[in-house]
Amino acid sequence: MKQTRDHPMNQTRNETAVITPTARVTAARLAIRAARPRRLTSTLLWAAQIPLAAVFVFFGLNHLTGGGIYTVAGAAELAGAIGLLTPWLAGLAAAGLAAVMVGATIINVAGGGGLVFLTAPLCAVFVLLAYARRRQIKALWAAIRR
């Protein structure tokens, strides 16, 4: 049998996959879900994150009414509290709140040290939370870079 130019065996196509934004989000969520800590660790992290989120909603609302830098800090604290309650953002939110607490500690030390006893330990707790969720942070970063 003679093959012609139009025969399917002779045709080659360069097909490229089209990745939709929905497919990227789904892939990112699956990667982040696969990177989550073991069940007991996850339960302990959530047991810490939920009360901390409640505290930071309170702090954030109080700081929003302060004006100036307090408004910025309040917005960051509220965003961090919401992030702590969002499973795929929890690690990144903990890292962000650790940065906010570093700033708060520096401001408190420079201003007389009023709340250093509160901000420094909170910073340490958020660093530990972010460290415990570091695999999720890496998976989220990889998903964003795609």
Q: What is the DSSP string of 30-49?
A: HHHHHTSPPHHHHHHHHHHH
| Tens of pLDDT, residues 41-87 | 889 999 999 999 999 999 999 999 888 888 999 999 999 999 999 98
Q: What is the DSSP string of 82-106?
A: HHHTSTTTHHHHHHHHHHHHHHHHH
The pTM score is: 0.76
Q: Say which residue, 37 or 48, is predicted with more confidence.
A: 48
Backbone φ and ψ for 43, nearest 5 degrees, come out as: -65, -45
Predicted pLDDT at 3: 54
Q: Say which residue, 86 or 26, is predicted with more confidence.
A: 86
Query: Would you tell me how many other CB atoms lie within 10 Å of the CB of residue 120?
Result: 16
Predicted pLDDT at 34: 80
- Contact, 37 vs 133, CB < 8 A? yes
